[in-house]
Amino acid sequence: MQQPKNTHRLLRALAKQGLDVSYDNNIYTVRLNDALSEQPNQRQELPIAEVLLPPDFPIEGKAFQQLARLTTLAHPGGGSVTRAFATPDFHPGDTGVAIGSVIQTEGMVVPAAVGSDINCGMRLHTIDLSLADFLAQRDKFVALMKGDYLLGTRDITMTAAASRGMFADGIPGWLEQMTKQPMGSVARSDFAQLWQEIDRVQFLGSMCGNARWAPSELTPAAGLVRDGDLGTVGGGNHFVEIQEVIEIRHPRLAYESNIKVGQLAIAIHSGSRTVGKYIGGMWRDRAKAAWLKGCPFPQSDLFSLSTTTHPDLVAEYLEAEATAANYAFVNRLILAELMRLRLREVYGDIAAPLVCDLPHNLTFPHKNGWIVRKGACAAAAGQLLITPGSMGTPSYLLSGLGNDRYLNSASHGAGRSISRFELTRAGANYTESDLGLTAVDCITLRNERRIEEAPAAYKSIDRVIDTQVAAGTIEVVAKMRPILTFKA
């Protein structure tokens, strides 16, 4: 495929900034000139970043710049990025890391690359309920959900032992204590079913028992803990949604997950809320404080921790990250549970089994080092993953193909094309129909949130998926359309 003419000028502009970008068959290859590298003159050959992007997608210079910088990170005491890749939904990030970046590291971890939104991820359940039956009592359901999600009347109370179990061992640690002593909004949950569903939570096993590190502020020694964050979706592109399966493309995998055309589903996009912000922020600062004296700071402010010079801090960071990740796994479980309990209240004793739950913002162990996925899913062979569209557009259930060239990774969303700032700045006069909002059934208390996340602010999810199918990183299992969205 030829590089389109309109990108020529942009590529030349990037070259002037020190970025050499070449294009071939949907793949942009990015190199940094030595002057812009984080380690000028220190490394013979810098790793190359590849970006999987359809030729007609807008090239965002800032995102390319951020990816290139991330790719050249190295620790003066040992450790470096060895490979990098970006998914088609990649776009600039606020903290110097483009969303959709994937880096492979050896001998170091990069807390600031994971950032605050530790274990942001997706969860999908099917619901045994027809669309007609759902819509018949939609308003009653919405009224109940407004209480849970938007007005904060939910009650997430647990023993200190359950809270400690959650941080240390995630869902199993929390369930063990909650099964003994059910309380709060989830007391009526079917705990036997929650135990059975644990196997469908991806990567949870690597977290269990790894989170020995938890700040005492988060883990009271005794008494009852009333958690204000658990069971809340959070802002930005986070949501809870009722969807309808509209297309099956992989019948066997769909069948194995109880997915049929016309099937309703619950999709949840949320993370570790303020716990991740607290732990991510703390470790960004700790990595900076531990930087070797006399060594120049990285221009990007992305400080790594080296296993050569600070093995104890690397281990402690991974434990801290697991602490927040476990919190996020339980948060998504509780969000699903609140939804499931409300559905049962309105529609009777309907089943809503878990299909999968997966992180897309985390440090994953890989060979002798790690793969950091910042807004990207693991896509090992046969692994289910979800790429949600923007508000009002379809989501995809996918299966990984284990494509090592692209670091076994896939997109986590459609990718923003218009910034939140641009959409809400004074003088911006977008109408609801300009933004594609008129046909979206979204329940939220603040209309600015709908505008910031409008369909028109995002790239085409269909193109994002098609590009990856063509590249051989994923196959499509099913496609879902949104029926009803809840946002904070």
What does the alpha-carbon distance between residue 303 and residue 74 come to, in Å, rounded to a whole number?
A: 9
Q: Name 469's Cβ contacts closer than 8 Å, sequence gap at least 6.
A: 475, 476
Q: Which is nearer to DNA, 154 or 164 (CB)?
A: 154
Looking at beta carbons only, is 94 or 422 nearer to DNA?
94
Nearer to DNA, 173 or 234 (CB): 234
Cα–Cα dist 118/362, whole Å? 6
Select the residue interacting with DNA from 49, 63, 98, 99 (CB under 7 A).
99
Is residue 239 part of an annotated ligand binding site?
A: yes
Residues in CB range of 233: below 8 A, 6 or more apart: 149, 239, 240, 268, 269, 270, 335, 486, 487, 488
Residue 382 labeled ligand binder: no
Q: Which residue, 276 or 369, has its beta carbon nearer to DNA? A: 276
DSSP letter (8 states) at residue 74: B
Determine the interface stretch with DNA among 67-75, 114-122, 299-307, 399-407 (rule: CB under 7 A): 114-122
Closest CB 333 distance from DNA, rounded Å? 16
Q: Interface with DNA includes 96 (CB under 7 A)?
A: no
- Does 231 participate in binding DNA (rule CB under 7 A)? no
389 annotated among ligand-binding-site residues: yes
Determine, following the binding rule CB under 7 A, whether residue 459 of this chain makes contact with DNA. Answer: no
How many Cβ atoms are within 10 Å of 73's Cβ, its own excluded? 25
Contact 485, 390 (CB under 8 A): no
Site for DNA in 152-211 (CB under 7 A): 152
CB of 449 to DNA, least distance (A): 8
The reply on whether position 116 binds DNA by CB under 7 A is yes
Tokens of 246: 């509209």
Q: Is 412 in the active site? A: yes
Per rule CB under 7 A, is residue 271 in the interface with DNA? yes
Does 146 appear as a known binding residue? Answer: no
Does position 94 interact with DNA (CB under 7 A)? The reply is: yes
Decide: 185 and 231 in contact? Cβ < 8 Å. Answer: yes
- CA 253 – CA 400 distance, rounded (Å): 12
Please name which of 239, 69, 226 lies closest in space to residue 150, comparing C-alpha atoms: 239
Taking the C-alpha atoms of residue 454 and residue 457, their distance in angstroms, rounded to an integer, is: 5
Is 125 annotated to bind a ligand? Reply is: no
Among 274, 432, 462, 463, binds DNA (CB under 7 A): 274
DSSP letter string, 150-163: IS-----EEEHHHH
Amino acid at 426: A
Query: Which of residues 228, 262, 365, 472 is near DNA by CB under 7 A?
Result: 228
Nearer of residues 74 and 225 to DNA, judged by Cβ = 225
Question: What are the catalytic residues?
Answer: 412
- Residues near DNA (CB under 7 A): 94-95, 99, 115-117, 120, 152, 228-229, 234-238, 270-271, 273-274, 276-277, 488
